[in-house]
A and B are shown apart, each in its own frame.
Chain A
Amino acid sequence: MTRRPPTADLAPLPAARFDASAARHLLARAGFGGTPAQVDALAAIGLDRAVDLIVNYDGQPAKPVSPDDFDRDLIPPLTREEREQLQRARRERDEATVERLERKENQTKAEDRRQLQSLREWWLARMIESARPLEEKLTLFWHGHFATGARTIEDSWLMFQQNQLFRTHAAGNFATLVLNVIRDPAMIRYLDNDDSRRGRPNENLARELLELFVLGEGSGYTEQDIKEGARALTGYTLEGEDFVFRENNHDGGPKSILGRRGNWNGDDFVRIALERTECSRFVCGKLHRFFVNDVPEQDLAPSHAAARAAAVDAMAAELRAQQYELRPVLAKLFRSAHFFDASNRASVIKSPAQLVVQTIRQLGTPPRQLSSLTAACELMGQDLFQPPNVKGWDGGRSWINTSTLFVRQNLAVYLLTGKRPGMYDWENDSARFDADALVAGAADRADEAPANRAAAASARPDRAADLAPEQLVDRLLSVTLAAPAHPARRDELVRFATQQTAPGARAERTLSTLALITALPEFQLA
Chain B
Amino acid sequence: MHEPNAFSRRIFIRQGVMLASFAATLPHFIQESALGMLAPEGSGTSSRPGVPEERILVVVQLSGGNDGLNAVIPYGDPEYHNARPGIGLGEPGKAKNGGAALQLDQDRGIGLHPNLTGLKELHDQGKLSVVAGVGYPNPNRSHFASMDIWQCGRPEGKGTGWLGRYVDAACNGNPAADMAVSIGRTAPLAMMGSQSKPVAFESADLFRWLGADAGGTMDAEYQRMARAGTLPGVEAGSQESFLMRTALDAQVTSDRIRAAVKKQPLVPYPGSPLAKQLQTVAAMIRDGMKTRVYYVSMGGFDTHANQPGSHGNLMRQLGDALLAFQKDLAAQGNEGRVVTMCFSEFGRRVRQNASNGTDHGTAGPVFLLGPAVQPGLRGKYPSLTDLDGGDLKFTTDFRGVYQELLGRWMRAPTEQVLGGTYEAPGLVRA
Contacts and interface: CB of A to CB of B under 8 A. Distances in A.
- Name which of A3, A211, A299, A391 has the most chain B CB atoms within 10 A of its CB: A299
A525 B142 contact: no
Contacts of B202: 379, 403
Contacts of B226: 519
B144 A521 contact: no
A391 B144 contact: yes
Contacts of B207: 402-403, 406
A78 B311 CA distance: 20
Interface in A371-429: 379, 381, 388-391, 394, 397-398, 400-407, 409-410, 412-413, 417, 419, 421-423
B269 to A, nearest CB: 19
Interface in B236-251: 237-240, 242-244, 246-247, 249-250
A295 interface: yes
A389 B302 CA distance: 11
A2 to B, nearest CB: 6
Contacts of B214: 413, 417, 419, 512, 515
A35 interface: no
Interface stretch (B127-135, B217-225, B314-322, B323-331): B217-225
Interface in B22-52: none
B18 interface: no
Interface stretch (A52-60, A200-208, A437-445): A200-208
B359 A388 contact: no
B304 A516 contact: no
8 contacts: A195-B305, A217-B142, A217-B145, A299-B237, A400-B246, A419-B214, A423-B203, A525-B240
Interface in B251-265: 253-254
Contact of B235 (A3, A211, A412): A3
Given A379-B202, A401-B201, A492 B246 contact: no
Contacts of B353: 195, 200, 202
- Name which of A405, A521, A522 has the most chain B CB atoms within 10 A of its CB: A521
Contact of B355 (A192, A391, A403, A516): A192
- Name which of B203, B216, B222, B353 has the most chain A CB atoms within 10 A of its CB: B216
A96 interface: no
Contacts of B197: 401
A520 B221 CA distance: 11
Interface string B327-355: 00000000000000000000000000111
A211 B360 CA distance: 15
B213 interface: yes
Nearest to B148: A217
Contacts of A204: 304, 359
A295 B355 CA distance: 43
B420 interface: no
Closest CB pairs A-B (n = 3): A403-B201, A521-B243, A299-B237
Contact of A410 (B144, B209, B228, B354): B209
A379 B222 CA distance: 22
A422 B216 CA distance: 18
Given A402-B254, A409-B210, A515-B218, 9 more contacts: A1-B234, A195-B305, A195-B355, A200-B353, A203-B359, A203-B360, A400-B243, A402-B246, A519-B225
B403 to A, nearest CB: 27
B206 interface: yes
B222 A346 contact: no
A505 to B, nearest CB: 6
Contacts of B200: 401-403
A90 B221 contact: no
Contacts of A406: 206-209, 250, 254
Contacts of A308: none
Contacts of A203: 359-360
A379 B338 CA distance: 29
B237 A389 contact: no
A195 B303 CA distance: 13
A519 B353 CA distance: 51
B192 to A, nearest CB: 10
A298 B194 CA distance: 12
Interface string A503-526: 001001000100110011110110
Contact of A516 (B185, B205, B225, B253): B225
Nearest to B143: A389
Contacts of A381: 185-186
A392 to B, nearest CB: 10
B233 A1 contact: yes
A405 B197 CA distance: 15
B13 interface: no
A295 B239 contact: yes
A488 B98 CA distance: 67
A489 interface: yes
Nearest to A518: B211
Contact of A394 (B186, B206, B244): B186
Contacts of A423: 203, 205-206
B281 to A, nearest CB: 15
B229 to A, nearest CB: 10
B224 A347 contact: no
A413 B211 contact: yes
B289 interface: no
A401 B142 contact: no
B209 A522 contact: no
Contacts of B205: 422-423
Given A192-B305, A394-B186, A405 B233 contact: no
A400 B201 CA distance: 10
Contacts of B357: 195
A522 B243 contact: yes
A263 interface: no
A197 interface: yes
B6 interface: no
Given A1-B234, A192-B304, A391-B144, A403 B206 contact: yes
A401 B222 CA distance: 18
A410 B210 contact: yes
B250 A403 contact: yes
Given A419-B214, A515-B218, A349 B239 contact: yes
A298 B1 contact: yes
Given A3-B235, A197-B354, A400 B211 contact: no
A3 B241 CA distance: 14
Nearest to B306: A83
B11 interface: no
Contacts of A261: none
A405 B207 CA distance: 9
B246 A405 contact: yes
A397 B211 CA distance: 23
A505 B305 contact: no
Contacts of A489: 225, 231
A63 interface: no
B392 interface: no
Contacts of B242: 299, 397, 400
Interface in B132-175: 141-145
B402 to A, nearest CB: 23
A70 interface: no
A522 B216 contact: no
A384 B357 CA distance: 28
Contacts of B63: 389
A499 interface: yes
B199 interface: yes
A486 interface: yes
